[in-house]
Structure 1
Amino acid sequence: MHREAFATTAAPAAIGPYSQAIVASGTMVFLSGSIPLTPEGELVMDSIEAQTEQVCQNIKALLGAMGLGMENIVKTTIFLSSMDHFGTVNEVYGRHMASPPPARSTVAVAGLPKGVDVEIECIAVRP
């Protein structure tokens, strides 16, 4: 299997030893979890709505740099600091996802990087 790392300055740089995205076998695209960092590395912590909006913008930017869009996403995993955020995250997330929406899992976790409240990872497919 061939795999290739992909990175762009249109989305925040990785904050650890991982790639922004990996393309496997030329068609499968795995996006690392995105937290609410701007491309310049500033944290967006205003509200869960603002955090989710920034995460979705990061995903769009990374996919766009690869010549893809939200319609290419087939699976997402959402990590939340609390399930109390579920409704708000759903609302923002729903505005960004193509129809039909991708398969998804959502889980509450004990902690997220930099103390954020939401992280989203994606799997997309190149046509």
Structure 2
Amino acid sequence: MTHTDGSRKRHAATGRFGRRSRDELLGLRTKLDNTDSMQKNVTRHESDRLSALGGYGVRKRGLQLVFFDGQTPDERTALRRGVKEQTIAALDRVTSVAAESDVEADDIMRTTVYLTKMDRLPEVESAYEEFFDGRRPSMTVVGVGALPNDADVQIEATGVDR
């Protein structure tokens, strides 16, 4: 590192000037990863990236993440029903699309709910409890101005293919 006065700072870990090499960093990461033999998850870090195609995130070995596009209720339901009914209809569509990919409802791990009326969140939560019968996926709710079909709810999901 060079300071404004032109002097350079010695790296505390290596005792040298400048940064560690990529090989040193990867060697340290491997050493750290090998110290925990109980680790059940594979974690990829941005510093491990060796190609632009590498993925990042945590998942159990042998599982494949499956991403599903946002689903809205049909236009008739969107125009004539409340938020709870729209949520159930959107969840029905999500599980139908998931089933086409051989992903069961229990294998849906995460959802993002886009909601036009944030004050109606209790209705969405009630619909989730009813639909998933106690074991629901994690849920993130995002407030939006408008959705397709004039719906109040759109749901996208991530599941695992076992």
Same fold (TM over 0.5): yes
1:89 matched to 2:151? The reply is no
1:92-111 equivalences under 5 Å are 92-97=127-132, 100-111=135-146
Question: Which of the residues 62, 71, 77 maps onto 1:44?
Answer: 77
Bigger helix share: 2
Q: Is the 8 A contact 2:68 2:158 kept in 1?
A: yes
Q: Is the 8 A contact 2:114 2:144 kept in 1?
A: yes
SS in 1 for 2:77: coil
1:105-120 equivalences under 5 Å are 105-120=140-155
Runs of 4+ off more than 3 Å: none
1:98 Cα shift?
A: 6.3
Q: Is the 8 A contact 1:71 1:99 kept in 2?
A: no
1:97 Cα shift?
A: 2.7
RMSD: 1.9
- What runs of 5+ residues in structure 1 fail to find an aligned partner? 2-25
- What runs of 5+ residues in structure 2 fail to find an aligned partner? 1-52, 54-62
1:58-97 equivalences under 5 Å are 58-97=93-132
Which residue identity lines up with residue 107 of structure 2 in the other structure? N
Higher relative CO (Cα under 8 Å, sequence separation at least 6) belongs to 1
Match of 1:28 in 2: 65
TM-score (norm 1): 0.69
Q: Is the 8 A contact 1:70 1:96 kept in 2?
A: no
- Count of residue pairs brought into register by the alignment: 99
Match of 1:4 in 2: none
Distance 1:62 1:114, change over 3 A: same
TM-score (norm 2): 0.55
Which residue identity lines up with residue 29 of structure 1 in the other structure? V
